[in-house]
Structure 1
Amino acid sequence: MSTKLTTADPQTETASSGLRRSLRRFDITAMAVAAVISFDTVGQIATGGGEAATWTAAIALFFLVPYALLFAETGAAFPQEGGPYVWVKLAFGRPAAALTTLFYWVTNPIWLGGSLVFLAAETWDGFVFHLGSGTVGDYAFKLLFVWIAILTAIVSLSRGKWITTVGAVVKVLSLTLFTVTAILYGAEHGFQGLSEARFTPTTAGFLGLVPILLFAYVGFEAPNAAGEEMHDPQRDVPAALGRSATIAAACYLLPVVALLAVVPADKVTGIGGFMEGVRLVFGVYGGAAGPLLTCTAVMFVFALLTQGSAWMIVSDRMQAMAAADGGFFARGLGAFHPRLGTPVRTNLLSGAVATVFMLTAMRLVHGDTGAVFGVVLTVAVTTLLLSYLAIVPALLFLRLRRPEVPRPYRVPFGNRGFVVCAVLVYAWILVGSWAALFPGVLESLFGIDYDFQDAWGVSRPTFETFTLGTIVVLLLVGAAGLAVARRERQET
Structure 2
Amino acid sequence: MTAPPLQGSSITDFGVDAQGELSKLRRHFGRADIFFYLVCTLFGVDGLGTLATKGGAGFTWLILCLLLFALPSSMLLAELGAAYTDEGGPYVWVRMAYGHLAGAVNNFLYWVTNPVWMGGTLVGTAVGGLLVFFNGGNEYSTTTLYIIGAVFIWAGVLFAILSFRVGKWVSTIGACSRFLLLGVFVVVIVMYGAEHGFHGIGAGGFAPSYSSFVALVPLILFSMVGFELPSAAGDEMKDAAKDVPAGIRKSLITTGLLYGLPVLGILLVLPASQASGLAGFPDAIKQALTVFGGTVSTAADGTVTTTLTGFSQLIGWIMGLLIVIAAFTSGLTWIMGSDRALAVSCLDKAGPRYLGEFSERFGTPVRVNILSGVVSSVVFVAATEITSGDAAKFFTVALSLAVSTTLMSYLGLFPAAWTLRRKNPDHPLPYRSPAIAFTTSISLVFIVFCTVQILFPGLGDSWFGSDYRPDGWTGDEKWTYLLTEFVPLAVFIAIGVAFWALGRRERPTSESIPPASVASVR
Aligned twin of 1:262: 269
CA distance in 1, matches of 2:238, 2:152: 31
Shift of 1:384: 0.5
Alignment of 1:117-196 (within 5 A): 117-128=123-134, 132-194=139-201
**Is the aligned partner of 1:478 residue 2:496?**
yes
CA distance in 2, matches of 1:47, 1:9: 52
Letter in 2 for 1:365: T
SS of 1:408's equivalent in the other structure is coil
Asked if structure 2 preserves the Cα contact closer than 8 Å seen for 1:196 and 1:265, the reply is: no
- Aligned pairs, number: 484
Asked if structure 2 preserves the Cα contact closer than 8 Å seen for 1:7 and 1:90, the reply is: no
Shift of 1:29: 0.7
Structure 1 unaligned blocks of 5 or more: none
Asked if structure 2 preserves the Cα contact closer than 8 Å seen for 1:443 and 1:450, the reply is: no
Aligned twin of 2:324: 301
Aligned twin of 2:379: 357
Aligned twin of 1:51: 57
Aligned twin of 2:362: 340
Aligned twin of 1:457: 473
CA distance in 2, matches of 1:451, 1:58: 21
Aligned twin of 1:423: 441
Change (3 A) 1:161 1:60: same
Alignment of 1:233-252 (within 5 A): 233-252=240-259
Change (3 A) 1:57 1:491: closer
CA distance in 2, matches of 1:427, 1:337: 40
Aligned twin of 1:218: 225
Shift of 1:268: 0.6
CA distance in 2, matches of 1:410, 1:489: 33
Aligned twin of 2:285: 278
Letter in 2 for 1:315: S
Deviations 1:222-280 (A, max 9, x none): 01000000000000000000111111111111110111011111111110000000000
Aligned twin of 1:4: 10
Aligned twin of 2:297: none
Shift of 1:485: 2.0
CA distance in 2, matches of 1:246, 1:215: 17
Change (3 A) 1:7 1:212: farther
SS of 1:250's equivalent in the other structure is helix
Aligned twin of 2:68: 62
CA distance in 2, matches of 1:143, 1:323: 28
Asked if structure 2 preserves the Cα contact closer than 8 Å seen for 1:107 and 1:380, the reply is: yes
CA distance in 2, matches of 1:40, 1:129: 19
**Is the aligned partner of 1:488 residue 2:511?**
no
Aligned twin of 2:452: 434
Letter in 2 for 1:480: A
Deviations 1:421-447 (A, max 9, x none): 1111111111111111111213339xx
**Is the aligned partner of 1:325 residue 2:343?**
no
Aligned twin of 1:23: 29
Shift of 1:466: 1.3
Q: Paired residue for 2:315, among 281, 292, 295?
A: 292
Shift of 1:127: 1.6
Shift of 1:7: 4.8
Aligned twin of 1:13: 19
**Is the aligned partner of 1:94 residue 2:100?**
yes
More helix by share: 1
Structure 2 unaligned blocks of 5 or more: 1-7, 294-309, 511-522
Asked if structure 1 preserves the Cα contact closer than 8 Å seen for 2:418 and 2:437, the reply is: yes
CA distance in 2, matches of 1:196, 1:299: 33
Runs of 4+ in 1 over 6 A off after TM superposition: none
Shift of 1:138: 2.0
Letter in 1 for 2:430: P
CA distance in 2, matches of 1:405, 1:188: 60
Deviations 1:155-206 (A, max 9, x none): 0110111011101110122012112211221121111142597101112211
Shift of 1:12: 3.1
**Is the aligned partner of 1:112 residue 2:111?**
no
CA distance in 2, matches of 1:428, 1:285: 43
Asked if structure 1 preserves the Cα contact closer than 8 Å seen for 2:414 and 2:444, the reply is: yes
**TM-score (normalised: structure 2):** 0.89
Deviations 1:71-96 (A, max 9, x none): 11111001110011000111111111
Letter in 2 for 1:119: T
Change (3 A) 1:75 1:491: closer
Deviations 1:111-146 (A, max 9, x none): 000010112123223322589534322211110100
Aligned twin of 1:385: 407
CA distance in 1, matches of 2:402, 2:423: 32
